[in-house]
Amino acid sequence: MMNFYLKMKNRIHIIAVCAAAFAMIVSLAGCKEKKSYAQLLTEENKAVNTFLANNIVVTSVPDDNRFEVGPEAPYYQLDEEGNVFMQVLDPGSDTKVQDDELVYFRFTRWNLRLYAAAGELPEGSGNATNVALGAASFRYGNYTLTSSSQWGSGLQMPLKYLGMDCEVNLIIKSQYGVTSEMANVVPFLYNVRYYNAVSN
């Protein structure tokens, strides 16, 4: 009888050790899948750098705001931290946008993390390719309105330098991008054309 209890006790002990080991393995596997915010930021920087490696980059804005223009133009760094880069395709009109002015825009955007993984741009999305999404807009410089702040500050930055009806390619890191997507830490390449309410 004592032998039976010892065998049962040993089996229970072995089962408990196996269960604990299994739980530890599952726990460690879960930890490996979830990345820290710092790791996501590092991946974001690598994705942007991978894209920019195939382009000319100028780390400042020209003093006279005379940007090179066209598909071979450089990407200009618009902020000190390197969160937004702009390539000017069309400088637009001489009409500058005013504070709190309603600005409409059409855009297509591409996920640069997918670009870094595949070596080519994935299919783009946005209201330039899908007119059913309707017009997008913001009030320039007014971040108190959700309709403006939801797009982040990166999309508004070109209008500090260029006129209405301009067209640009923008690289926007998550901190300056769509506010609801910041936690995903995904950088995007945007093609954007800006309009005023009359020409929309």
**pLDDT of 56 strictly over 60:** yes
**pLDDT of 37 strictly over 70:** yes
- pLDDT tens by residue, 71-102: 999 999 999 999 999 999 999 999 999 999 99
Question: DSSP labels for 157-169?
Answer: GGGGTS-TT-EEE
Nearest to 173 by CA among 190, 159, 188: 188
d(CA 69, CA 168): 9
Going along 67-187, which residue ranges are E strands? Answer: 75-77, 84-90, 102-111, 136-139, 167-172
Q: Which amino acid is located at 71 in the chain? A: P
Nearest to 41 by CA among 171, 183, 188: 183
Model confidence at 23, pLDDT cuts 50, 70, 90, reads: very low
**pLDDT of 69 strictly over 60:** yes
Helix locations, the chain, DSSP H: 2-33, 37-52, 112-118, 146-149
Portion of the chain with pLDDT greater than 90, in percent:
74
**pLDDT of 13 strictly over 60:** no
Residue 135: the pLDDT is 85
Q: How far is CA 118 from CA 50, 75, 123, 196, in A?
A: 11, 22, 12, 37
**pLDDT of 6 strictly over 70:** no
Residues 6+ apart with CB under 8 A from 139: 100, 101, 102, 103, 145, 147, 148
Residue 129: the pLDDT is 84
Residue 24: the pLDDT is 44
Model confidence at 26, pLDDT cuts 50, 70, 90, reads: very low
Q: Residue ranges per domain, the chain? A: 1-34, 37-196
* Beta pairing, strands 102-111 & 136-139: antiparallel
Residue 32: the pLDDT is 55
Q: Which residues pair with 188 in a beta bridge?
A: 111, 172
Region 37-196: CATH code: 3.10.50.40
